[in-house]
Homo-oligomer: A and B are copies of this chain.
Amino acid sequence: MSRVDKSAIVRAAEEVVREKGARKLTLDAVAAQCGLSKGGLIHHFRTKQSLLKAMLESAIAREDASAEACAKAGGDLLTSRLSSIFELMEDDEGLPRSLIAAVAEDPALLEPVKIKEVELRSEISRTYKDPELAQLLILAAQGLFFGRVLGVVEPEDPMLDRLRERLLMLSTDLA
């Protein structure tokens, strides 16, 4: 066993980005955050890129899990996805932070995100009578999400709740 595992390192990296910004996401900073030497950190992730990749994968997995949980609870595709986006927003901002860090470092790292997105779109096209409108609802949620990522939307903004309500309403109308 090890004192820390990979997921703890990923969390530490997210914490660093949240506290100091994507530009300050250095191996030293991550190592310090999880009480490891840089050498120890490198033992787990041989390059910084591989750490970024793990951060993205972890965030994607979390979003998928969240959407699936909502789907299990009876929500349709659109509602599940919308809920998971909002959950990510309220939650910990792990994905957004990872996104910024990754895209700044190397845009190619976003490939898995892109693939997920394309899958979602085709799934929507297959499921809904009016796929464009369904798309737009997802996009609106994502727009809000990015607004929070960039810090242009305050977390406490009451408008946020109203918009979520409205989106979920429109979503059930569509089903």
Chain A interface residues (CB < 8 Å from chain B): 21-23, 99-101, 103-107, 110, 113-114, 117, 121, 132-133, 135-147, 150-153, 159, 162-163, 166-167, 170
Closest to A115 in B: B152
Residues in B whose Cβ lies below 8 Å from that of A99: 150
In the complex, the count of this chain's copies comes to 2
Residues in B whose Cβ lies below 8 Å from that of A147: 117, 139, 142
- Contact present for B100 and A103 (CB under 8 Å): yes
Beyond A22-B104, A99-B150, A132-B163: 14 further Cβ-contacts under 8 Å? Answer: A21-B103, A23-B105, A103-B151, A104-B104, A107-B151, A110-B150, A117-B147, A117-B152, A136-B137, A136-B167, A136-B170, A142-B143, A142-B147, A143-B144
Residues in B whose Cβ lies below 8 Å from that of A141: 139, 143
| Nearest CB of chain B from residue A91's CB, rounded to whole Å | 19
- Contact present for A150 and B106 (CB under 8 Å): no
Chain A interface mostly: helix
- Contact present for A143 and B139 (CB under 8 Å): yes
The complex places the Cα of A167 from the Cα of B137 at a distance, in Å, of 11
- Contact present for A136 and B103 (CB under 8 Å): no
- Contact present for A150 and B113 (CB under 8 Å): yes
- Contact present for A136 and B21 (CB under 8 Å): no
- Contact present for A121 and B159 (CB under 8 Å): yes
| Nearest CB of chain B from residue A64's CB, rounded to whole Å | 16
